[in-house]
Amino acid sequence: MDYSNTTISSRSDATLVATLDDITFQIIRYGLIFIFLFGIIGNALNILILSQSLFRSSPCAQLFLFASAMNLFVIISGLISRILAGWGADLTATDRFFANFVVSLSILQDQ
């Protein structure tokens, strides 16, 4: 049986996996920065607009204001650790308090 084709196939598969892994890493590294920036800007604008006296009397606006504030908190607390991990500085691996904080937040989000 000729195994030379399987070796070439394995090499091309390994190259494909390495290329896809690199593309995924770059998307995570740079994509999270855009999500972070647009999330901060969008939620900050929501908070500024919904906290005006015209909208404060509406229960729906109060709900959206609270949701925007919580989304802003989650974006700041959750994405910072992921962004830093993409650049090689994983705070959850080095700081015990931060690791417990991230786990607690993920438990609260699931409920």
Number of separate domains in the chain: 1
Q: Is residue 88 part of a domain?
A: yes
pLDDT at 17: 87
pLDDT at 38: 95
Query: What confidence tens digit (pLDDT) does each residue in 71-105 have?
Result: 998 888 777 777 777 777 766 677 787 777 777 77
Confidence of residue 63 (pLDDT cuts 50, 70, 90): very high
Task: Residue 84: give the domain boundaries.
Answer: 28-110
The pair of structure tokens assigned to 72 is: 């802003």
pLDDT at 90: 67
Query: What confidence tens digit (pLDDT) does each residue in 31-59 have?
Result: 888 989 999 999 999 999 999 988 888 89
Q: Is residue 8 part of a domain?
A: no
**What is the end-to-end Cα distance of the chain in Å, rounded?**
57
Q: Is residue 3 part of a domain?
A: no
Query: Which pTM value belongs to this model?
Result: 0.64
Q: Is residue 73 part of a domain?
A: yes
Residue found under tokens 């394995």: 10
Beta-carbon-side half-sphere exposure of residue 29 (alpha carbons within 13 Å) = 10
